[in-house]
Amino acid sequence: MALWGTSHVVYRLTDPVTPRIPRLIAHRGGAALAPENTLPAFRNALNLKVDMLETDVRQSRDGVLVLMHDSSVSRTTPGTGSVERLSWEQLDSLGVTTFEQFLALARPGQAQILPEVKGGNAGIEEAIVRSLSDAGMIERTYVQSFSPTSLKRIHQLSPQLRLCRIYYPWGLLVGENPEGVTVVSPMAEALLVNPWMVRQAHARGWQVWPWFAGLESKLTIHWILSLGVDGLMVDDPRLWPTP
């Protein structure tokens, strides 16, 4: 604990944090306030004036892009089975939202979007880029992934799309990233352990948009923002500090 406290004190004293106006990013649409990755969640987030809508994109057995974080539908719907092994008709019967529906909701507003490429379906990157292009949303989108391979493919397909590299929970250092990456997304709890990741990223010209694995609260949001991050994904936008 003493070592942790010393690290944060030294972080602040060695180079004062540059004031920033961070982006408020509704994680899965603000999953604490409405069912995650659903149109009601995204509508609620837009009503709360968030800067960005974050979501997860997978592909059904027959190629339809749908919003689902888990590989299985069992946690968030009454059904069972893998998203990639179910048809769109089956997923529709479970109330799953499509990427097209999400884009149609987001398009009239000003909020940017942050879809994550999920699953290993061949061609999912092509389908995502095609949908974004058809919706006229390329310039308002950052595409994110844990996978450098997916990010490289997205960049090949659409060099103008901005990319966000997500780091696994155990990642405590900022490493190399594919061309096109302008944002890195470590776990917020990892920054509580090693705040220097923020400066490592900024030194390379990358913005930092963390995500919480489970310790989201008013206190931890305030603490992470005080490290000088450029954005923060939250499940409950109401916890965001008021100016």
In this structure, the number of other CB atoms found within 10 A of the CB of residue 140 comes to 18
Neighbours of 96 (CB within 10 A): 24
Are 234 and 216 a contacting pair, CB within 8 Å?
yes
Which pLDDT score, from 0 to 100, does residue 3 have?
53
pLDDT digits (tens, 9 = 90+) for 39-55: 999 999 999 999 999 99
How far is Cα 114 from Cα 4, in angstroms, rounded to an integer?
Answer: 32
pLDDT of residue 2 exceeding 70: no
| Domain 22-237 homologous superfamily, CATH | Phosphatidylinositol (PI) phosphodiesterase (3.20.20.190)
Contact at 8 Å (CB) between 11 and 196? Answer: yes
As a whole number of angstroms, the distance between CA 223 and CA 36 comes to 25
Model confidence over 77-122: pLDDT tens digits? 999 999 999 999 999 999 999 999 999 999 999 999 999 999 988 8
pLDDT of residue 117: 98
Averaged pLDDT, 19-46: 95
Positive or negative torsion for Cα 43, 48, 53, 59: negative
Domain ranges of the chain: 22-237
Which residues face 98 on adjacent strands?
Answer: 66
Q: What is the mean pLDDT of residues 109-137?
A: 96
